[in-house]
Structure 1
């Protein structure tokens, strides 16, 4: 809601810090419902949306998201007691905008994005954003079981890229068909593929991801579900299962030509994915 023409012509007292302090104190003293019913409070929020619009857009947000951050700050007693209330609110809005932008990049909540332990993470990358197909250079897609190695690394780069993207999309569909939230399936598999691209092998990628507690926090899925996704996508790391369907994982099985229908006929695979489907996230 934009400020009305009358509001633009009329100067409220809250434009300066002392006037804002007086208004916030009055709203606080008025008790429950004051923010909802007071017309000057509504004008204040429209003013905040306009004041922080440029800051919000800089971080890819709507002006009203910045106004919401300002509202949360205004309700804090420390703002009323501050030497310059508007300066404190501006600082709070800037931090919230940064956290919102960081949370969107990391695929996590704003609360987590504010924590310093997440500051070293780079933004999530979609598997499809990479220019070079993994089969051109990554040993994780090389196998030691006969002709499958040749099938996993076709000489035609365009065909390889198409095959990889198709395999990833089919893997996402596979999880979604078996009761996993589509967004969780996509972000989880794309995160696995991103880390796989940085690892020397599927086995090392599995071990690194298994110990990657930050990944679980960012993706917000239970530990049991995360481990099942790793085993299903990358294959069980047990050496005795290396040449079995369970050891290869669905990503490699799809890459070497096995159809999605074939995966859906694998009862053991279906049982593991269905039984470990997350019910809505968490760290169980």
Structure 2
């Protein structure tokens, strides 16, 4: 008996792949046995049958087949991230969920799975045919509409990019992961450009369930971010700093000191609001980052 087979036998004894350690043991044995083991091993076949059933409901939720979920799981099972994770099943589940979301968006956007994972692509709505609506194209397409008024309360267009950068720096300095705030602001910027109005953009983003999935943020954090960045849309705050929001303030020549200092004192409420809603590195986020790094 070879050394590898001896190790495999000892690893597998008394384990069940439905448990985290049992799955790890089976994956290690399959790796030691070589690439053909996935085709020949009875336990590998049983594992894939179990996975097909386990993630079938998740696949249906995203309007896909159980086989799509099984394929995503198979890709994850062969990665180092699953083999070395504290809970291999948690990594597999997260990988399957992300893949199904991307696949669902790819079907709607008529693009590849790889493109659908990009934040700037996911913000678009699903492709539509003219026949999908009862009303003529001229009734609903923005290209055939004329704005009744111009919102003059917006930051000058030439300063918008710099304003978003200043907002990102401020959030990052108060505890937000830079990648998280950059992705969130990219999402906000795309919607703001489409609507042309902070209040309209705020209302649409607040109800955007897809944003929570794409950005992996809780609703409370997302709502706070929108209010701080775009301003409080309530009419009572219309002409106040709270109503203007950070994006407008940075876009109208206010600097970080102007934003953070109220009178002679630090604006503790604003600092506490941004720092208090900063997303923490949860186990789910750690698993996602580990999986992304492995792939």
TMscore range, shorter length: 0.5 to 0.7
- 2:156 pairs with one of 149, 152, 160: 152
**Counterpart residue number, 2:124:** none
Partner of 1:253: 249
More off after superposition, 240-249 vs 203-212? 240-249
Cα distance in 1 between the residues matched to 2:148 and 2:190 = 14
User: 1:156 corresponds to which residue?
Assistant: none
1:212 aligns with 2:213: no
Contact 1:225–1:278 at 8 Å: present in 2 too?
Answer: yes
The equivalences for 1:134-145 within 5 A come to: 142-144=151-153
The alignment partner of 1:125 has SS state of helix
CA spacing shift, 1:96–1:111, aligned 2, 3 Å:
farther
Match of 1:180 in 2: 176
Which residue of structure 2 aligns with residue 191 of structure 1? 187
CA separation of 1:34/1:174 partners in 2, compared to 1, >3 Å: closer, same or farther? Answer: closer
C-alpha distance in structure 2 between counterparts of 1:28 and 1:251, whole Å: 57
- What TM-score does the superposition give when structure 2 sets the normalisation length? 0.52
Change (3 A) 1:198 1:113: farther
Residues 263-282 of structure 1 aligned to structure 2 (within 5 Å): 263-266=259-262, 267=267, 268-280=269-281
Greater length-normalized contact order (CA 8 Å, ≥ 6 residues apart)? 2
**Pair 1:78-2:79 in alignment:** no
> Structure 1 regions of 5+ residues with no counterpart?
1-25, 49-71, 80-88, 99-107, 127-137, 154-159
Partners of 1:96 and 1:140 in 2: CA distance: 54
- Tell me if structure 2 keeps the 8 A contact 1:216–1:223: yes
CA 1:46–1:271 in 2, change beyond 3 Å: closer, same or farther? Answer: same
What is the aligned counterpart of 2:35 among 45, 57, 68?
45
**Aligned residue number for residue 125 of structure 1:** 120
Q: Over the residues paired in the alignment, what is the CA RMSD in angstroms?
A: 4.4
Task: Report the secondary structure of 2:193's partner residue.
Answer: helix
CA–CA distance in 1 between the matches of 2:149 and 2:164? 15
Partner of 2:142: none
Alignment of 1:95-110 (within 5 A): 110=96
Aligned to 1:36: 28
**Aligned-partner Cα distance in 2 for 1:259–1:141:** 26
Q: 1:243 Cα deviation (Å)? A: 1.5
Shift in Å at residue 117 of structure 1? 6.3
User: What is the CA–CA distance in structure 2 between the aligned matches of 1:42 and 1:263, rounded to whole Å?
Assistant: 58
The 1-side partners of 2:172 and 2:212 are apart by 19
Give me the TM-score of the superposition, normalised by structure 1: 0.54
- Cα distance in 1 for residues equivalent to 2:120 and 2:44: 33
Larger radius of gyration: 1
Aligned to 1:157: none
Structure 1 residues 219 and 260: CA distance shift in structure 2, 3 A? same
Q: 1:277 to 1:30 in 2, by over 3 A?
A: closer
Residues 127-159 of structure 1: CA deviation (Å, up to 9, x unaligned): xxxxxxxxxxx9999425xxxx7x714xxxxxx
Task: Determine whether 1:114 maps to 2:115.
Answer: no
Kindly tell me: are residues 92 and 260 of structure 1, through their superposed partners in 2, closer, same or farther at Cα, counting changes over 3 Å?
Answer: same
